[in-house]
Amino acid sequence: MNILDIRNLTIELDTSAGPVKVIDKLSLQLAEGEIHTLVGESGSGKSLLAKAILGFINPRWKITADRLWWRHYDLLGLNPAQRRIVTGRDMAMIFQNPGSYLDPNHTIGEQLSEAIPSGELKGFYLRRRTDRKVRAERLLHRVGIKQAKEIMQRYPYEISEGLAQKISIAMAIAHSPKLLIADEPTTAMEPSTRAQIYRLLGKLSASQGMSILMITQDLTTMIPNSQRTSLVYCGQLMESGTTEQILNKPSHPYTQAMLEMSLLDQSVAPKSRLPTLSGAIPTLQNLPIGCRLGPRCPRARRACIQTPPTTRKKQHSFACHFPLSEDE
Amino acid sequence: MRYTLQRLLLLLITLVLLSLFTFSLNYFFPGDVLTNMTGIRAIDANQYASVALERDINASFPQQYITYLGHILSGQWGQSLITQEDVFQTMTPLLGASLELIVLTMLLSMLLGAPLGIYAALTEGGSFDRIITGLGLSSYSIPVFWLAQMLILFFAVKLGIAPISGQINPLYDVPVTSGAVLIDIWLNDYPYPYAALLDALNHLWLPIIVLSIMPMTMLIRITRGAVLDVLRQNYIRAARARGLKGSTILTRHVLPNAMQQVVGQLGLLFSLLMSNIIIVEVIFNWPGIGSWLVKSIYERDYPILQAGVLVFATLILLVNVAVELFHAWRYPQVRKELYAE
């Protein structure tokens, strides 16, 4: 059953060149306990999508959607206060530049304790305080921080960005949310910790039924047991399907290009050109009409100046006029 | 620790430069150097000779300066050219009277300015915010000497509810010890304390209002800007998304961070207040350092003039360094910004 249901979400920004649809009719469903990987290059609007789900909204954005439902709540219909209660209780997010999400005037310990919901603590004031501390320490241990006691005394300006990232993960999982949005959660970490974090997230999803929307830049950094994968380019959904389908039988040229770029099969001849899409991601002011991948797509033809319809086959959907057929 | 030492060293160097400046004034002022320095004229031959010896006036400049510094530090600031009174002893009660105005003004502007600024920021774009920022900007641009006279004309002359000038009605002969009349009444066990207190307060409120308008409007603007800036920060938005209560976010996350910016500006505010206080003291005939300094300029009373400059500049320097030290002590991350990462 889908607990997060997004249909045709559009986010418009006002720029000097007029309104721009940064996210164009994007649909996304997330089932309970599912790990969904959202892949897109920088500037594709994936962080914006995450913020729109969380209600982390700038009043200048114009958000419209046919459906933006979280369980039985219509998120766009709630007033800000109600929405804050719902998202605060059920959702959490790991942000991209975690340092700026920590209050510079409080120690890590104070902020971490604040994220622990007081409803789960019992006893009187003093007992609850020590309880909070113990829980905070345990959280830090879980995200792989060994000197938890020492780190809790520190101020945000005294820690590295990688550490801040781990702390923001600890804060995000503090109240065991139903939905965790992880926006490139391991960019500032060393590879060994990265694997540990992925294992932790995978375990949380399996043991607590936590759904995870994992946002990454490429197909190589994925939580191992990610069930579904979607690819976004410039705010348009290119392809969405089970991770297996995406990795093995891509239908969309963009997916294939991303797969080649990520060098998963390691079969690149020495001194050959690395596979890339030609050109660069267009700026917000110069988005192409129709399929936004058009100017860079190897299979583009004249029809691509029309936005391609979304083809749905069971779990699998893609938006392309000239998809890769299975026999190719 | 290193920061504290650095600041204190800077303070010391600035004070030395300041005293060097006041010392050199004695040579730049017209007339006899020793007379400018001590206020004793050459006619008084005996005393002049003994002071010349005492001040090493025939020695080299560095030697003279060191002797001068010793006199400054031990409170021997010479005597007034006009009244022949000891400068340092005249200065202390005047400083008390000025400090009374300064402290009360700072208190009033902080108690009113900061909350108004916070409220304006929280209701950004609302009618209250517009009124407050509009009023703030317009009253910020009113010159203080004009405002003082207008308020005197209105409250003292037209309505007659406040005295025109002075610190207290001469009927109450409160002995002057500290110079701050509110403290003097209490210190000297004055026989009619409440009547005297009431009269002193009646003399106080007008100059305090005039003085606090500018720091208060500045404080409103600084606080408003700081709160708005903090409200836009990611950690505030994250706290909101985490579902924290609005009041918790405000008291625990917004205000401490906004106040950090405000505290950093207090030194500037104080410097502004000090330049205004000279004008206001003259207009209200307040027996403080400011009016003393202005009077000494009119009377060419050079010993007093250099003493006034010294006291004013020292006060501003001390307060600024104190604010900086407090800022760095209370908000540790400031220190990180001072050094490279």
- Structural tokens at position B210: 């005039």
- Structural tokens at position B4: 């504290």
Domains of chain B: 93-291 (1.10.3720.10)
- What pLDDT sits at residue A158? 83
Q: Which of A12-16, A167-171, B301-305 has the highest mean pLDDT?
A: B301-305
The whole-angstrom separation of Cα A171 and Cα B145 is 56
Question: Given an 8 Å threshold on Cβ–Cβ distance, is B241 in contact with A114?
Answer: no
- What pLDDT sits at residue B23? 92
- Of the candidates B234, B241, B332, the beta carbon closest to that of A155 is on B332
Confidence of residue B341 (pLDDT cuts 50, 70, 90): very low
The whole-angstrom separation of Cα B28 and Cα A270 is 83
B206-265 pLDDT, tens digit per residue, is: 999 999 999 999 999 999 999 999 988 888 888 887 777 788 888 888 988 898 889 888
- Of the candidates B235, B243, B333, the beta carbon closest to that of A85 is on B243
- Of the candidates B241, B252, B333, the beta carbon closest to that of A56 is on B241
The whole-angstrom separation of Cα A145 and Cα A151 is 8
B139-164 pLDDT, tens digit per residue, is: 888 888 999 999 999 998 899 888 88
A172 sits in which H/E element: helix A161-172
- Of the candidates A84, A93, A104, the beta carbon closest to that of B333 is on A104
Q: Tell me the DSSP string of A4-61.
A: EEEEEEEEEEEETTEEEEEEEEEEEEEETT-EEEEEE-TTSSHHHHHHHHHT---TT-
The whole-angstrom separation of Cα B251 and Cα B248 is 5
- What pLDDT sits at residue B46? 86
Residues A285 and A20 sit within 8 Å (Cβ to Cβ): yes
- What pLDDT sits at residue B224? 92
Please check the confidence at residue B333 and state whether its pLDDT lies above 80: no
Question: Given an 8 Å threshold on Cβ–Cβ distance, is B234 in contact with A104?
Answer: no
Give chain B's mean pLDDT. 87
Please check the confidence at residue B319 and state whether its pLDDT lies above 80: yes
A183 to chain B, closest Cα gap in Å? 14
A&B contacts, CB < 8 Å: 57
Candidate from A182-196, B30-44, B116-130 with smallest mean pLDDT: A182-196
Q: Which residues in chain A have their CB less than 8 angstroms from residue B256's CB?
A: 105-106
User: Could you report the predicted ipTM of this complex, rounded to two decimals?
Assistant: 0.76
Q: Which residues in chain B have their CB less than 8 angstroms from residue A58's CB?
A: none
- Of the candidates B235, B241, B332, the beta carbon closest to that of A54 is on B241
Residues B40 and B79 sit within 8 Å (Cβ to Cβ): yes
The residues spanned by each domain of chain A are 2-226, 252-327
Residue appearing with tokens 């990520």 = A262
A107 to chain B, closest Cα gap in Å? 11
Is the whole-model pTM more than 0.90?
no
A79 to chain B, closest Cα gap in Å? 14
* Burial of A33 (C-beta count, 10 Å sphere; 0-12/13-18/19+): middle
Question: Given an 8 Å threshold on Cβ–Cβ distance, is B234 in contact with A115?
Answer: no
A93-130 pLDDT, tens digit per residue, is: 888 788 888 888 888 888 888 888 776 666 677 777 88
Residues B66 and B74 sit within 8 Å (Cβ to Cβ): no
A266 or A86, which is more confident? Answer: A86
The whole-angstrom separation of Cα A197 and Cα A173 is 12
Q: Which CATH superfamily is domain A2-226 in?
A: P-loop containing nucleotide triphosphate hydrolases (3.40.50.300)
% residues pLDDT > 90 (chain B): 35
Give the pLDDT mean for A128-150. 83
Please check the confidence at residue B340 and state whether its pLDDT lies above 60: no
- What pLDDT sits at residue A142? 82
Long-range CB pairs of A220-226 (<8 Å, 24+ gap) are A220/A262, A220/A263, A220/A264, A221/A186, A221/A194, A222/A37, A222/A198, A223/A35, A223/A37, A223/A198, A224/A198, A224/A199, A225/A35, A226/A35, A226/A36, A226/A37
Confidence of residue B84 (pLDDT cuts 50, 70, 90): confident
> B239 touching A, CB under 8 A?
yes
Please check the confidence at residue B17 and state whether its pLDDT lies above 90: yes
> B242 touching A, CB under 8 A?
yes
Helices H / strands E in chain A, number of each: 9, 13
Please check the confidence at residue A314 and state whether its pLDDT lies above 80: no
DSSP B79: B
% residues pLDDT > 70 (chain B): 98
Confidence of residue B322 (pLDDT cuts 50, 70, 90): very high
Confidence of residue B19 (pLDDT cuts 50, 70, 90): very high
Q: Which residues in chain A have their CB less than 8 angstroms from residue B331's CB?
A: 105
Q: Which amino acid is at B33?
A: V
